[in-house]
Amino acid sequence: MIMIRAIVRPERSDAVLAALMEAGFPAVTKCHVYGRGKQRGLKVGDVTYDELPKELLYVCVPRRDKDFVIQTIIQAARTGTRGAFGDGKIFVTAVEEVYTVSSGVREGVKETAAAPVLM
Amino acid sequence: MKEIMAVIRMNKMNQTKQALSDAGISSFNARPAFGRGKGNVDFRILKGAEQGHEEAIAQLGAGIKLIPKRMLTVVVPDDKASLVVQTIIKVNQAGRPGDGKIFVMPCEDAVRVRTGELGDQAIDEVI
């Protein structure tokens, strides 16, 4: 499994969530964050805004679906025809183990190999 | 080192804190988050809404439904990872969808800002 963390514009996050749902990846966690990129924030006149509001999306998917999910997020998060500064970043990290709390089962391993969890 | 990211119910936070500190893991990071899992979506309603049935659209409501959750991040030495996972599962398991998910990720390094210590030394000792 891999964890895809996508930082997107707040106004595009609903579109990304809808696109992920349509693509068959409903499970997602969302956090509100503030940040800046290599453009050092937004400069309006003399004022620099270097803490821009963004949404951070966490999606955990099988490794084979990585490229598809990333393309889905990119297509939904991009603004304009060629994209613009501030559209966001996507980071991919490895996930070694995934557990579902309600069943206590470790995901991604065969049913027979799943270790029973103490109650 | 392992980074354990757990998404749990809001109202289980105090019990989880207590259980983790009882297990000897005192340090962690928590933040509010919003999320959805695979269980909360009825694809028939979704499909119906796509085809334009009014009842289905009414059930979907406006906007995208996300449930408020609490996200915990715990960084522990390798051998304590399963202890944390089991502790969180034990406290949060109600047997219903929405209890949460736990992700175990490798963590490259940790630094204690106060002293500049690196690696396992930077993580609080498990008492």
Interface predicted TM-score (ipTM): 0.78
- Nearest neighbour of A27 by CB, restricted to B8, B38, B92: B38
CB A69 within 8 A of CB A59: yes
pLDDT tens-digit series, residues B33-71? 998 887 555 667 777 777 877 777 776 665 567 888 999
Among partner residues A95, A101, A118, which is closest to B104 by beta-carbon distance?
A95
The residue of B15, B36, B45, B90 whose CB has the most chain A CBs within 10 angstroms, and thus the best one to mutate to test that interface, is: B36
Q: Distance between CA atoms of A76 and B32, rounded to whole angstroms? A: 25
**Please, are residues B23 and B80 in contact by the beta-carbon 8 Å criterion?**
no
The burial class, CB within 10 Å (0-12 / 13-18 / 19+), for B89 is: buried
Residue A66 buriedness (CB in 10 A; 0-12 / 13-18 / 19+):
middle
Strand locations in A1-119 (E): 2-8, 28-35, 42-44, 47-49, 52-61, 88-94, 97-100, 105-107
Question: Quick one: pLDDT at residue A55?
Answer: 94
The nearest CA of chain B is from the CA of A5 a distance in Å of 13
Is A60 in contact with B103 (Cβ distance < 8 A)? Answer: yes
Amino acid B104: pLDDT: 94
What are the structure tokens assigned to B59, written together?
Answer: 């059930």
**CB distance B124 to B26 below 8 Å:** yes
Give pLDDT, residue A119.
Answer: 44
Q: What is the CATH number of domain A2-39+51-113?
A: 3.30.70.120
Please compute the mean of the pLDDT values over residues A19-30 and round it to a whole number.
89
Query: How close B39 comes to chain A (CA, Å)?
Result: 9
Q: Which domains are assigned to chain B?
A: 2-38+67-122 (3.30.70.120)
Q: Looking at the complex, report in whole angstroms how far the Cα of residue A21 sits from the nearest Cα belonging to chain B.
A: 9
**Paired strand residues for A25:** none
Tell me if chain A has a CB within 8 Å of the CB of B63. Answer: yes
Whole-angstrom Cα Rg for chain A = 17
* Best mutation target, B38, B88, B90, B101, to test chain A (most A CBs within 10 A): B101
Q: What is the pTM of this model?
A: 0.81
The answer to whether A95 contacts B97, with C-beta atoms less than 8 Å apart, is: no
Task: Show me where the domains of chain A are located.
Answer: 2-39+51-113
The tens digit of pLDDT for each residue in A61-70 reads 999 999 999 9
**8 A C-beta contact, residue B67 and residue A30:** no
C-alpha pair distances (Å), A102 with each of A111, A119, B91, B93: 16, 11, 10, 5
The shortest CB-CB distance from A26 to any of B7, B38, B90 is to B38
Q: Measuring CA to CA, which residue among A42, A46, A108, A85 is closest to residue B101?
A: A108
User: In this structure, what token pair is assigned to residue A14?
Assistant: 């609903």
Find all residues with CB under 8 Å of A32, minimum gap 6, and list them: A10, A53, A54, A55, A56
- A26 and B85 within 8 Å at the Cβ level: the answer is no
A103 touching chain B per CB within 8 A: yes
What pLDDT, on the 0 to 100 scale, is given for residue B41?
Answer: 56
Identity of the residue in B33, B36, B85 whose CB atom sits nearest the CB atom of A99: B85
Residues A52, A42: contact at Cβ < 8 Å?
Answer: yes
List residues bridging with B29 in a β-sheet. B73
Q: Which residues pair with B7 in a beta bridge?
A: B71, B101
